[in-house]
């Protein structure tokens, strides 16, 4: 019996790999994508979600438009959010299924549903404040002592720190932080072996990392960091990541700090094995 999965997303190049991984994993039934601002604005993240599903042959999956906001990472993901290639993806004949993500969560989440949140947490926080419960919530975000937007704050938590605070204080998320995901490099060999349309989205991201390798500890030819796919892999196959409980909170900048909220944090994974898992699923 496949596990129902909803992905809350701001596609986004690494989001695209995460969505493709879920769409091609029989362990989960992809019940919907809920979109949020983040890497680019909400209009583009929503349009990108629709086109990615069309490319993946999954127009059966509904897209629900969520929260707008400010901020962005066009320098990493391109002005269109998909490395300048968004319009090369097919149009989705199916329009968005709605614009109330709280209602969608409330109507769709069952006790065995897992939600993977791989963008800013605005949609998730709004649902929590409306009384929606998330039985299993896997969140890509945060950094323990590190950040990629500031020295201490990671993008998803930085982009809406108040929402991140709501999630860590009122839900019991599994947090998949930069400390782990920045070690998960989809190098150029990996990119040469997977769906060329996905690899074709990575030019801007690869150039960005090459230009910032000193702070990303990456070499010129190292490809991209698949932050979101690492988190979604845990949603697909629980136990993929080794978790440990930490007492944490999130400050007003969006930085993970010591605190009283006991949350599971992904600390380690067998990256060669996970890389092979992804390669196998994404090369079809
Ligand atoms: O910090 C990495 C996160 O920010 C990823 O989710 C990436 O897609 C961006 O949203
Ligand atoms: Ca993302």
Q: What does the pLDDT look like over 6-35, one tens digit per residue?
A: 999 999 999 999 999 999 999 999 999 999
Assess whether the C-beta atom of 119 lies below 6 angstroms from ligand 1.
yes
Q: What does the pLDDT look like over 183-218, one tens digit per residue?
A: 999 999 999 999 999 999 999 999 998 888 766 554
Q: What does the pLDDT look like over 214-252, one tens digit per residue?
A: 665 545 457 899 999 999 999 999 999 999 999 999 999
Per-residue pLDDT at 76 exceeds 70: yes
| Residue-level pLDDT at 210 | 85
| Residue-level pLDDT at 216 | 55
Q: Which sequence spans correspond to the domains of the chain? A: 3-282
Assess whether the C-beta atom of 39 lies below 6 angstroms from ligand 1.
yes
Which-ligand-closest: CA of 146?
1
| Residue-level pLDDT at 211 | 83
Instruction: Mark whether 227 is an active-site residue.
Output: yes
Which-ligand-closest: CA of 156?
1
Backbone φ and ψ for 225, nearest 5 degrees, come out as -100, 120
| Residue-level pLDDT at 220 | 47
Q: How far apart are the C-alpha atoms of 15 and 225, rounded to whole Å?
A: 11
| Residue-level pLDDT at 215 | 61
Closest atom of ligand 1 to 14 CA is 8
Measuring from atom 10 of ligand 1, which residue has the nearest CA?
A: 119
| Residue-level pLDDT at 222 | 75
| Residue-level pLDDT at 50 | 98
Q: Cβ of 208: how many Cβ atoms within 10 Å?
A: 17
Query: Which residues are CB-contacts of 188 (< 8 A; sequence separation ≥ 6)?
Result: 206, 221, 222, 223
| Residue-level pLDDT at 148 | 94
| Residue-level pLDDT at 195 | 98
Q: What does the pLDDT look like over 134-184, one tens digit per residue?
A: 999 999 999 999 999 999 999 999 999 999 999 999 999 999 999 999 999
Assess whether the C-beta atom of 181 lies below 6 angstroms from ligand 1.
no
The encoded tokens of residue 273 equal 């094995």
Q: What does the pLDDT look like over 83-124, one tens digit per residue?
A: 999 999 999 999 999 999 999 999 999 999 999 999 999 999
The whole-model pTM stands at 0.97
Distance from the CA of 158 to the center of ligand 2, in angstroms?
Answer: 12
DSSP state letters, 19-80:
HHHHHT-TTEEEEEEEE-SSSS-HHHHHHHHHHHHHHTT-TTS-EEE----S---HHHH-TT
Residue 181 near residue 225 (C-beta atoms within 8 A): yes
Choose the catalytic residue: 55, 212, 217, 227. Answer: 227
Fold classification of 3-282 is: Inosine-uridine Nucleoside N-ribohydrolase; Chain A (3.90.245)
Distance from the CA of 245 to the center of ligand 2, in angstroms?
Answer: 24
Assess whether the C-beta atom of 148 lies below 6 angstroms from ligand 1.
yes
Distance from the CA of 1 to the center of ligand 1, in angstroms?
Answer: 30
Assess whether the C-beta atom of 160 lies below 6 angstroms from ligand 1.
no
Distance from the CA of 244 to the center of ligand 2, in angstroms?
Answer: 23
Assess whether the C-beta atom of 9 lies below 6 angstroms from ligand 1.
no
């Amino acid at each position: 019996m496949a596990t129902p999965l909803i992905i809350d997303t701001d596609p986004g190049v690494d989001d695209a790999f995460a969505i493709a991984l879920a769409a091609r994993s029989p362990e989960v039934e992809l019940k919907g994508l809920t979109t949020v601002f983040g890497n680019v604005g909400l209009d583009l993240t929503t349009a990108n979600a629709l086109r990615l599903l069309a490319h993946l042959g999954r127009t059966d999956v509904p897209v629900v438009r969520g929260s707008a906001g400010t901020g962005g990472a066009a320098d990493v993901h391109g002005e269109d959010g998909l490395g300048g290639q968004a319009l090369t993806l097919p149009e989705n004949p199916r329009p968005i299924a709605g614009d109330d993500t709280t209602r969608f969560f409330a109507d769709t989440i069952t006790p065995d549903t897992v939600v993977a949140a791989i963008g800013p947490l605005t949609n998730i926080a709004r649902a929590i404040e409306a009384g929606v419960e998330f039985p299993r919530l896997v969140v890509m975000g945060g950094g323990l002592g590190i950040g990629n937007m500031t020295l201490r704050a990671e993008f998803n938590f930085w982009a809406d720190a108040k929402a991140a605070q709501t999630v860590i204080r009122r839900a019991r998320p599994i947090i998949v932080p930069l400390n782990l995901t920045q070690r998960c490099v989809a190098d150029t060999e990996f990119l040469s072996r997977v769906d060329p349309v996905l690899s074709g989205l990575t030019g801007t991201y690869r150039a960005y990392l090459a230009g910032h390798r000193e702070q990303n500890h990456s070499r010129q030819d190292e490809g991209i960091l698949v932050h979101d796919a690492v988190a979604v892999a845990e949603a697909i196959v629980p136990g993929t990541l080794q978790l440990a409980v930490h007492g944490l909170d999130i400050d007003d900048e969006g930085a993970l700090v010591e605190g009283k909220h006991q949350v599971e944090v992904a600390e380690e994974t067998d990256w060669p094995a996970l890389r092979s898992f992804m390669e196998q699923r994404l090369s079809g």
